[in-house]
Amino acid sequence: MARLLAILLMTFSSMSFAAIYKCEDANGKIVFTDQQCSDPSSKEEIIEVAEPAITALGNGTNSKNGDDNANASSECQTTANKVDSIIKDWHKFITSKNAQSKNSSVMAMYRDHQSGTLKQNFARKCQSGWARHSEVFECLAGASSGWDGQMCTHSNYNTSGWRY
């Protein structure tokens, strides 16, 4: 049980925390719950567990308070960092296909990367377009290669029409 709790504590990181109560009765039986121990004679220990900022479905909504705008800032910074890490590979992929003219967003992001402004510019554009394009940004946050980035922004999948 302690191992499972340790794994859970290490797995999730965020700015908001939830409390888990460890209740031990007089017989030594331990129960973990999200509420205070019901038996006043129980030994109670409060354990703070970080709540993930993004729900398991990846919709960018904080599961605790539903504050989509607050999460957009965090999600956009994560996505900007990811795009910055794959843009060289993505640019190489586009140029190898001689498809620069069809991928103006990639070309513009690559120029910003070269000038050191991609993370800042992408995060700003992401935040301003979050409501309309969050699916593209969430897809890009999970991209691990230029090919993945291309798939996230391809017209077959980019139904909101996002452009950098």
Residues 3-18 pLDDT 10s: 544 454 554 443 445 5
Neighbours of 137 (CB within 10 A): 25
| Low-confidence winner among 25-34, 52-61, 118-127 (lowest mean pLDDT) | 52-61
Residue predicted with more confidence, 2 or 85: 85
Residue 161 covered by a domain:
no
Burial letters 1-17, b for 16+ CB under 10 A, else e = eeeeeeeeeeeeebeee
The total of structural domains in the chain comes to 2
Are 72 and 113 in the same domain? yes
Q: 107 lies in which domain range? A: 68-153
Is the domain of 34 the same as that of 79? no
26 and 76 co-located in one domain: no
Specify if 94 maps to a domain.
yes
Inside any domain, residue 86: yes
If asked whether residues 21 and 89 sit together in one domain, one would say no
Same domain, 72 and 41: no
Q: What is the mean pLDDT of residues 103-130?
A: 97
CA–chain centroid gap for 23, Å, is 33
Same domain, 23 and 84: no
Report, as an integer, the average pLDDT of 88-103.
94
Specify the pLDDT at position 3: 52
pLDDT at 77: 96
Note the pLDDT tens digit of each residue in 117-157: 999 999 999 999 999 999 999 999 999 999 999 999 988 88
Q: Is residue 122 part of a domain?
A: yes
pTM of the model: 0.59
Q: What does the pLDDT read at residue 67?
A: 56
First CA to last CA across the chain, in angstroms?
47
- Structural domain includes residue 73: yes
Question: Does residue 124 lie in a domain region?
Answer: yes
Parallel, antiparallel or unpaired: strands 43-50 and 30-33: unpaired
**Sole residue written with tokens 């965020």:** 14
Is 59 inside a domain boundary?
Answer: no
- Spatial CA neighbour of 93 closest among 141, 143, 133, 136: 143
- The answer to whether residue 34 is domain-embedded is yes
- In this structure, the answer to whether residues 89 and 148 fall within a common structural domain is yes
Most confident region among 22-31, 49-58, 110-119, 151-160 by mean pLDDT? 110-119
